[in-house]
Amino acid sequence: MEYSWVRAIQGKEDIVVQFADYHTLDKVKSLSNTFRTEIIDFLETNVDEIKDELVSVPWDKEVLYTRDEILHHIIAHEIHHIGQLSVWARELKLSPISANFIGRKLKSIHSY
């Protein structure tokens, strides 16, 4: 869903992924890498210049969103996913994933 939002910000048509086509971890990783490349290319543009522009999304034609609102929504939703993974990890008796950004030594967007 986050990918759909990013495509909407760019004015691109949504791509509906058929989840049955991604039944192995390798296929999911490949799809993720494909999406990541497009998202990084977009984020490397000057997003600040377009943050107040309005966007219509195909699944909610009645409401317009600013690109800035959408980016904040995507960030919040990703944090939600981190929480989900933490719950599942605990259920599997594994160490939960940290929700902290600071100290995680995540790669800079420019390192991809």
Read out DSSP for 5-20?
A: HHHHHTTPPP----GG
> Residue 112: pLDDT above 60?
no
Task: Tell whether 72 is in a known binding site.
Answer: no
In this structure, what are the phi and psi dihedrals at residue 16, rounded to the nearest 5 degrees?
Answer: -90, 120
Check the annotation: does 77 bind a ligand: yes
Q: Which one-letter DSSP state was computed for residue 62?
A: E
Structural domain containing residue 85: 2-111
What's the number of domains the chain is made of? 1
pLDDT tens for 64-96 read 999 999 999 998 998 898 889 899 999 999 998
Q: What is the CATH number of the domain that holds 101?
A: 1.20.120.450
pTM for this prediction: 0.75
